[in-house]
Amino acid sequence: MKDAAPQTIYLKDYTPPAYLVDHVDLRFVLNETKTRVFSKLHMRPNPDAASEAFFLHGEDITLIAAKIDGTAIDPQIDATGLHHTVPNAPFIFEAEVEINPSANTALEGLYMSGGMYCTQCEAQGFRKITYYPDRPDVMATFTVRIESDLPVLLSNGNPVEAGDGWAEWHDPWPKPAYLFALVAGELVNHPDHFTTMAGKEVALNIWVRPGDEGKCAFGMQALKQSMKWDEDVYGRAYDLAVFNIVAVDDFNMGAMENKGLNIFNSAAVLASPETATDANFERIEAIIAHEYFHNWTGNRITCRDWFQLCLKEGLTVFRDQQFTGDMRGAAVKRIDDAIVLRAHQFREDAGPLAHPVRPASFVEINNFYTVTVYEKGAEIIGMLRRLVGPENYDKALDLYFSRHDGDAATIEDWLQVFEDATGRDLTQFGKWYAQAGTPHLSVSESFEDGTYILHLSQQTPPTPGQPEKEPLVLPIAVGLLDQRGTEIVPTTLLEMTEASQSFTFDDLQDRPVLSILRDFSAPVILKHTQSDATRAFLLSHDTDPFNRWDAGRSLAQDVLVRMTRDQATPDQSFLDGLAAVLRDDSLDPAFRAVVLSFPSEDDTATALFDAGVTPDPTAIHQAHEALTLYLAQHVQDISPRIYADMTVTGPYRPDAADAGRRSLGNRMLSLMSKLDGGKQAQLQFAQADNMTQSQAALTALLKIGKGADELAAFETAWHADRLVMDKWFGLQVGCAAPEQAAGTARKLTAHPAFDLKNPNRFRAVFGSLKANAAGFHDPTGASYALLADWLIKLDALNPQTAARISAAFDAWKRYDANRQTKMRTALQRIADTPGLSRDTTEMVTRILG
Ligand code: 0A1
Ligand code: ZN
């Protein structure tokens, strides 16, 4: 598939659409290779437009006929769309086009998955269905008629009428084309219903392929919880008579918030105790919530243009994080989010792919569905809420919903609402949206005559295209403890606005112990040299759970850096501190489990790089293995007891309490397996009645080079379950010894169940290869070459997923000359591939720098 010549699009060039669409009538005559789409667009000139040129987007579609106001026309067609002259008054544009869903391997537009028709239109997929002004600031009501012999025919909005071989839908809420959806197939549903706070009945359905009915109950429960939570916390009720969710196996992302018809990657909705882990359940709950919350933050209020993507994504992620915190415990959720942010977003912000939360330009918008737009976008909202306070936040959100309902809005609109609701000037705060890079916050302290002064300075390193950085508004939550661990200054929010600033605390008796950036109040990198003793003190005494964990985390990171760099042994006091947390039965097991888990090998590579040392992934891996062994030995007297204490009896429940117990128990299992040759893990695998326990046991075995029999048994048991088989593929690559990772991945690509066209399967192999840091960076370069080979193959079929996975190479410049050369060669080979997509070309060009 050949793209039109790549073009850079700039935020500063935005102009309003020349023509608006008030209403759309669509008729689909479905056919696997020759689907006909009949469209009737009720259009009018936009009074606010600068130009009169008439243009409709359209790609990979064949025009059969077109009319304006009933008269046939012969428009000019090019690779990007259709041009013609139109009346200077309201008019009706009609088209008949033909498309080929079965040839659509890019999974954008209308495509086939497992025998069903489905669509994906965000960001710019609707133009592959018919000619249309495919931009989010053109919003219309839609009526859709689907003609097909398939029994289930779905589209957005409410059902109007259906007969033998057809169904009609009407969506009364004006929406941009990216929220359009259609599904047709032999599907079965898991029905339920919900009564809104206004007393309106909503029919709820999760539609799946026959055989998957038993995996819907949890998703449905999460949907009802999300609907209730959005009413209770944000005052937002659902606004149609039906809410449909459909599970599809072939999907580029997690899920999609199409109005009234959410389409989900089956991995993001289907779960049963036997097939899904606790982590899968939690993720499903969060994604169901995320897509549902988009109904207000994304659909009722959408984005003016794709540069404003964070307007809907940052806010919706923030809302789903709040939801998970409420459902499962805010402290552990905050820790989990910080782990993800630091591991992935800080890495993105520090490398060649760094971009502002609201980018200023792009070539392919699909490359900007990033951790920066999503997760850093959510952090900005969290900072705003901290700065204005929860009540003002609620006031501002109410104003946002009332002022902008039905709008395609901008970040300026969003900030204006906060200014109007609170009277606060947000000019400087707004820079968070425009400035890329993670601020580094340096901290020093002084204490004299009862006065404690905190000296802070912020500095953001340069990022591509942004050499100069300005100071940002940083909300910094601090608390002060005395030497016994009693809080003498409770959590206080400092607002830093300058490059350097000091904050004074008077009338203290003794030098306090600082607990800074509590609850991770701003997404910054702390440059703070607290002694090991102080961090150990905070690990056992801090009243802020985030900082308590973070103190242990930072100690562990230093230990791992020293072990890698100097072949040091871990300090006894560090191991004692971890053992003390482990023994403390008053602590939540989930919290103990996160304290007991170490930074990733990639985190250690970053820490070494930041310390001016070229990271050697092989040495890092050895240090991590060694530390795990030291810890296993250090706690071996208590680990069997804790493992046994964490046993969960009764039927499997994926709630936070039971999941926390399993999490700590399985951390113990992984430590015990380092010493018992995998005996306990074999036993657990044999006895497990749920996937959390069997996957944890299998992982523990694979990590000590065992588990061949269990792996074979797993395949025999689950070969017919696509989602479980993704785990089977992924675990082998993820747990392989470094020198075997590339070979394992290569072998699995030859397995009959490997399917290049299925993004989940591709990610299972190659996402896991990237996650196996020492294996990916094996000095022979075998993994780099293998990934390049397969990205080239995938790009020809599915540019979007190929481009996303190519980011695995983004940190290439921080490694040694041998690895750098081999990664650059792999990247160059991808870049030089004839016919490479716009998506992957943009990514590898940026990565090569
Ligand atoms: N808006 C969806 C994510 C999404 C984005 C792009 C897609 O295809 C290119 C698909 C889904 C969300 O935030 O969940
Ligand atoms: Zn989203």
275-295 residue pLDDT tens: 999 999 999 999 999 999 999
Residue 2 pLDDT class (50, 70, 90 cuts): very low
Q: Which two tokens stand for residue 441?
A: 């916050």
Element (H, E) at 265: strand 261-265
Strand partners, 71: 68
Provide the 3-class DSSP secondary structure of residue 224: helix
Give φ, ψ of 176 to 5 degrees. Answer: -75, 160
255 lines ligand 1 (CB under 6 A): yes
CA triple 660-662-665, angle to 5 deg: 110
pLDDT at 4: 54
Q: How far is the CA of 290 from the centre of ligand 1 (A)?
A: 11
**562 within 8 A of 568, measured Cβ to Cβ:** yes
Asked whether residue 161 carries a pLDDT value surpassing 50, the answer given is yes
Lowest-confidence range among 187-191, 441-445, 525-529, 811-815? 525-529
Across 165-183, average pLDDT: 99
For residue 315, give the ligand nearest its CA: 2
User: Whole-angstrom Cα distance, residue 718 to residue 214?
Assistant: 15
State the complex-level ipTM. 0.99
Residue 6 pLDDT class (50, 70, 90 cuts): confident
Helices 691-703 + 278-293 axis angle, to 10: 120
Closest residue (by CA) to atom 7 of ligand 1? Answer: 122
Q: How far is the CA of 307 from the centre of ligand 2 (A)?
A: 14
Radius of gyration of the chain, Cα coordinates, nearest whole angstrom: 27
Residue 324 pLDDT class (50, 70, 90 cuts): very high
Q: How far is the CA of 317 from the centre of ligand 2 (A)?
A: 7
Q: How far is the CA of 258 from the centre of ligand 1 (A)?
A: 10
Q: Do domains 440-522 and 719-849 have the same CATH topology?
A: no
**782 within 8 A of 743, measured Cβ to Cβ:** yes
**142 within 8 A of 119, measured Cβ to Cβ:** no
Element (H, E) at 729: helix 722-734
Closest residue (by CA) to atom 11 of ligand 1? Answer: 256
**252 within 8 A of 230, measured Cβ to Cβ:** no
Q: Which atom of ligand 1 is nearest to the CA of 374?
A: 13
For residue 122, give the ligand nearest its CA: 1
**460 within 8 A of 472, measured Cβ to Cβ:** yes
Residue bearing tokens 């117990």 = 661
303 lines ligand 1 (CB under 6 A): no
- Break the chain into its structural domains and give their ranges: 1-101+134-167, 303-434, 440-522, 719-849
pTM: 0.98
104, 118, 122: which to mutate for ligand 1, most atoms within 8 A of CB?
122
257 lines ligand 1 (CB under 6 A): yes
Residue 345 pLDDT class (50, 70, 90 cuts): very high
pLDDT at 766: 99
- The full 3-state SS of 150-172, as one line of letters, equals CCEEEECCEEEEEECCEEEEEEE
Closest residue (by CA) to atom 4 of ligand 1? Answer: 256
Q: How far is the CA of 263 from the centre of ligand 2 (A)?
A: 12
The secondary structure of residue 510, as a DSSP letter, is S
Strand partners, 162: 167
User: Whole-angstrom Cα distance, residue 244 to residue 183?
Assistant: 10
Torsion angle of alpha carbons 680, 770, 121, 89, nearest 10°?
A: 150
For residue 126, give the ligand nearest its CA: 1
- pLDDT tens across 622-658, in order? 999 999 999 999 999 999 999 999 999 999 999 999 9
366 lines ligand 1 (CB under 6 A): yes
Q: Which atom of ligand 1 is nearest to the CA of 120?
A: 8
Give φ, ψ of 185 to 5 degrees. Answer: 180, 180
- pLDDT tens across 500-519, in order? 999 999 999 999 999 999 99
User: Whole-angstrom Cα distance, residue 101 to residue 806?
Assistant: 26
- pLDDT tens across 515-557, in order? 999 999 999 999 998 999 999 999 999 999 999 999 999 999 9
Q: Which two tokens stand for residue 310?
A: 């964070």
Residue bearing tokens 């795990």 = 628
pLDDT at 809: 99
Q: How far is the CA of 253 from the centre of ligand 1 (A)?
A: 6
DSSP labels for 766-777? Answer: HHHHHHSHHHHT
Q: Which two tokens stand for residue 157?
A: 């909005």
Residue bearing tokens 């792996």 = 711
317, 369, 371: which to mutate for ligand 1, most atoms within 8 A of CB?
369
* Percent of the chain whose predicted confidence (pLDDT) is above 90: 99
460 lines ligand 1 (CB under 6 A): no
Task: Indicate the pairing of strand 91-99 with strand 81-84.
Answer: unpaired
For residue 179, give the ligand nearest its CA: 1
Strand partners, 65: 96
Closest residue (by CA) to atom 8 of ligand 1? Answer: 122
Burial (CB < 10 A; 0-12, 13-18, 19+), residue 192, is: middle
Based on DSSP, count helices (H) and strands (E) in the chain, helices before strands.
29, 31
**One-letter identity of residue 252:** N
User: Whole-angstrom Cα distance, residue 495 to residue 528?
Assistant: 18
**One-letter identity of residue 777:** H
**68 within 8 A of 86, measured Cβ to Cβ:** yes
Query: Is residue 291 annotated as part of the catalytic site, yes or no?
Result: yes
User: Whole-angstrom Cα distance, residue 846 to residue 357?
Assistant: 17
**223 within 8 A of 204, measured Cβ to Cβ:** yes
313 lines ligand 1 (CB under 6 A): yes
320 lines ligand 1 (CB under 6 A): no
Q: Which two tokens stand for residue 596?
A: 């007991």
Closest residue (by CA) to atom 12 of ligand 1? Answer: 256
Provide the 3-class DSSP secondary structure of residue 747: helix
Q: How far is the CA of 231 from the centre of ligand 2 (A)?
A: 19
The secondary structure of residue 373, as a DSSP letter, is I
Say whether domain 719-849 belongs to CATH 1.25.50.10.
yes
- pLDDT tens across 195-204, in order? 999 999 999 9
Q: Which residues of 468-507 are buried (b: 16+ CB within 10 A; e: fewer)?
A: ebebbbbbbbbbbbbeeeebbbebeeeebeeeebeeebee
For residue 268, give the ligand nearest its CA: 1
For residue 306, give the ligand nearest its CA: 1
User: Whole-angstrom Cα distance, residue 446 to residue 592?
Assistant: 33
Domain 440-522, architecture per CATH: Sandwich (2.60)
Count CB atoms within 10 A of the CB of residue 579: 18
For residue 319, give the ligand nearest its CA: 2
User: Whole-angstrom Cα distance, residue 522 to residue 439?
Assistant: 9
Residue bearing tokens 């819907």 = 216
Pick 1-101+134-167's CATH classification: 3.10.20.30, 2.60.40.1730, 2.170.190.11, 3.30.2320.80: 2.60.40.1730
Residue 621 CB partners (closer than 8 Å, separation 6+): 601, 738, 773, 774
User: Whole-angstrom Cα distance, residue 591 to residue 333?
Assistant: 10
Burial (CB < 10 A; 0-12, 13-18, 19+), residue 208, is: buried
**156 within 8 A of 169, measured Cβ to Cβ:** yes
122 lines ligand 1 (CB under 6 A): yes
**496 within 8 A of 556, measured Cβ to Cβ:** no
Residue bearing tokens 């944890």 = 696
Residue 59 pLDDT class (50, 70, 90 cuts): very high
Closest residue (by CA) to atom 3 of ligand 1? Answer: 256
Residue 349 CB partners (closer than 8 Å, separation 6+): 372, 376, 436, 437, 438, 463
pLDDT at 1: 40
- pLDDT tens across 225-258, in order? 999 999 999 999 999 999 999 999 999 999 999 9
User: Whole-angstrom Cα distance, residue 243 to residue 223?
Assistant: 10
Give φ, ψ of 77 to 5 degrees. Answer: -120, 135
252 lines ligand 1 (CB under 6 A): yes
Q: Which atom of ligand 1 is nearest to the CA of 366?
A: 9
120 lines ligand 1 (CB under 6 A): yes
pLDDT at 5: 66
Residue 599 CB partners (closer than 8 Å, separation 6+): 553, 556, 557, 560, 607
**437 within 8 A of 460, measured Cβ to Cβ:** yes
293 lines ligand 1 (CB under 6 A): no
364 lines ligand 1 (CB under 6 A): no
Report the residue count for the chain: 849
104, 253, 291, 296: which to mutate for ligand 1, most atoms within 8 A of CB?
253
Q: How far is the CA of 451 from the centre of ligand 1 (A)?
A: 52
Closest residue (by CA) to atom 1 of ligand 1? Answer: 256
Closest residue (by CA) to atom 5 of ligand 1? Answer: 122
Q: Which two tokens stand for residue 456?
A: 């802070």
Mean pLDDT of the chain: 98
Strand partners, 708: none
First to last CA, the chain: 26
Closest residue (by CA) to atom 9 of ligand 1? Answer: 122
Q: Which two tokens stand for residue 319?
A: 């809302």
Q: How far is the CA of 283 from the centre of ligand 1 (A)?
A: 16
User: Whole-angstrom Cα distance, residue 758 to residue 298?
Assistant: 28
Q: Which atom of ligand 1 is nearest to the CA of 313?
A: 13
Q: How far is the CA of 669 from the centre of ligand 2 (A)?
A: 36
User: Whole-angstrom Cα distance, residue 564 to residue 624?
Assistant: 8
Residue 826 pLDDT class (50, 70, 90 cuts): very high
Provide the 3-class DSSP secondary structure of residue 187: coil
Residue whose C-alpha is closest to residue 449's, from 388, 490, 509: 509
- Classify domain 303-434 at the CATH superfamily level: Neutral Protease Domain 2 (1.10.390.10)
256, 287, 312: which to mutate for ligand 1, most atoms within 8 A of CB?
256
Q: How far is the CA of 290 from the centre of ligand 2 (A)?
A: 6
Of these residues, 282, 285, 291, 348, which one is catalytic?
A: 291
Count CB atoms within 10 A of the CB of residue 609: 16
Q: How far is the CA of 216 from the centre of ligand 2 (A)?
A: 21
Count CB atoms within 10 A of the CB of residue 141: 18
Q: Which atom of ligand 1 is nearest to the CA of 123?
A: 9
